[in-house]
């Protein structure tokens, strides 16, 4: 089976693509694809613990992130350089997420890239 | 090579959707097979039925429709992205008691499973983002 990497780099509650990326990841998981998620750039803000999306008139990304393990979506990564640039670390995140330092070779190790 | 595209750019906004069309056109000219174009998020607006651009701008929806006829590829609008933007086929228009279809007949509504399928069963999936 192809190994798919889904890259999510949009800030939450701004672009609809933050939600779109998670919906696509869930669809891939439902169809039993081998999916890994990598959060890059402003996409790291999606991972923050304690989101209160009521004011954004939309569903909670945090709830969806916390439910990913129910769909066997447990391979979550974030770009270390993006975290440093934003003063974030894995302790700020609502789900277990591993840092990636060599982003290029990490991306290169997958067969298919979905870039959101 | 068997290709599928993922288009997340709206027409008449950024150049993303135009780039997707030109990529598809060029790939077909080189003899590649275009299997499916999946329009997601704002990209769903590419299938609008009633777009009337100025005469000197060219109609993007019609251009996709001509490419579909020429290549036999599927033009799929993500159904969730489409419905919330007012993009309905006649079945959905009836279901939600709206006045009529708002998507061009060259396009079909479909679920994210069709994106997963396109990714799994094409040699390449090329993404065209909104930026």
Check residue B131 and give its pLDDT: 72
Specify the pLDDT at position B35: 98
Tell me the helix, strand and coil percentages in chain A, rounded to 5. Answer: 45, 20, 35
Looking at residue B14, its pLDDT comes to 85
CB contact under 8 Å between A115 and B127, yes or no, is yes
> How far is the alpha carbon of A23 from chain B, nearest alpha carbon, in Å?
8
**Average pLDDT taken over every residue of chain A:** 95
Kindly give, in sequence order, each residue whose CB lies less than 8 Å from that of residue B33, ignoring residues fewer than 6 positions away. B1, B2, B3
Quote ipTM for the complex.
0.88
Q: A64 and chain B: CB distance < 8 Å anywhere?
A: no
* pLDDT value of position A53: 84
CATH number at residue B14: 3.40.1260.10
CB B54 within 8 A of CB B95: no
The pLDDT value recorded for residue A89 is 96
Active site residues of B: 78
Q: Supply the pLDDT for residue B129.
A: 92
> What is the tally of structural domains in chain B?
1
For residue B85, the chain A residues in CB contact (below 8 A) are none
| Gap between the Cα atoms of B126 and A65, Å rounded | 26
pLDDT at residue A19 greater than cutoff 90: yes
- The domain locations on chain A are 3-115
Q: Note down the domain range covering B92.
A: 2-128
In 10 A of CB B112, how many CB atoms?
23
Per CATH, is A3-115 categorized as 3.40.1260.10?
A: yes
A33 Cβ under 8 Å from any chain B Cβ: yes
Q: What is the pLDDT of residues A40-77, one digit of tens each?
A: 999 999 999 999 888 788 889 999 999 999 999 999 99
Q: What is the pLDDT along chain B (131 residues), one digit of tens a residue?
A: 999 999 999 998 888 999 999 999 999 999 999 999 999 999 999 999 999 999 899 999 999 999 999 999 999 999 999 999 999 999 999 999 999 999 999 999 999 999 999 999 999 999 999 87
Concatenating the DSSP letter of every residue in B33-97 gives EEEEEEE-GGGGGGGBS-----TTT--HHHHHHHHHHHH--EEEEEHHHHHTTT---HHHHHHTT
For residues A22 and A41, what is the distance between their CA atoms, to the nearest angstrom?
Answer: 16
- The per-residue pLDDT for A55 is 78
């Amino acid at each position: 089976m192809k190994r798919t990497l889904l890259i999510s780099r949009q800030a939450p509650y701004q672009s609809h693509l933050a939600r779109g990326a998670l919906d696509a990841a869930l669809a891939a998981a439902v169809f039993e694809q081998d999916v890994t998620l990598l959060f890059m750039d402003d996409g790291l803000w999606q991972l923050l613990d304690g989101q209160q999306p009521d004011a954004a008139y939309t569903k909670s990304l945090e709830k969806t992130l916390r439910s990913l393990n129910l769909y066997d979506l447990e391979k979550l990564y974030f770009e270390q350089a993006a975290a440093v640039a934003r003063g974030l670390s894995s302790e700020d995140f609502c789900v277990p997420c591993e840092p990636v330092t060599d982003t290029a070779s990490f991306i290169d190790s997958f067969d298919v890239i979905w870039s959101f | 090579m068997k290709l599928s595209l993922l288009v997340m750019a709206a027409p008449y906004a950024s150049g993303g959707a135009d780039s997707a069309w030109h990529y598809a056109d060029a790939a077909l000219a080189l003899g590649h097979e275009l299997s499916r174009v999946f329009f997601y998020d704002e990209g769903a607006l590419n299938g609008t039925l009633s777009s009337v651009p100025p005469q000197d701008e060219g109609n993007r929806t019609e251009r996709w429709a001509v490419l579909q006829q020429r290549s036999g590829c599927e033009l799929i609008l993500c159904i969730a992205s489409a419905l919330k933007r007012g993009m309905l086929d006649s079945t959905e228009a009836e279901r939600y008691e709206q006045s009529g279809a708002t998507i061009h007949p060259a396009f079909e509504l479909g679920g994210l499973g069709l994106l997963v399928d396109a990714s799994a069963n094409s040699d390449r999936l090329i993404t065209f983002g909104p930026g």
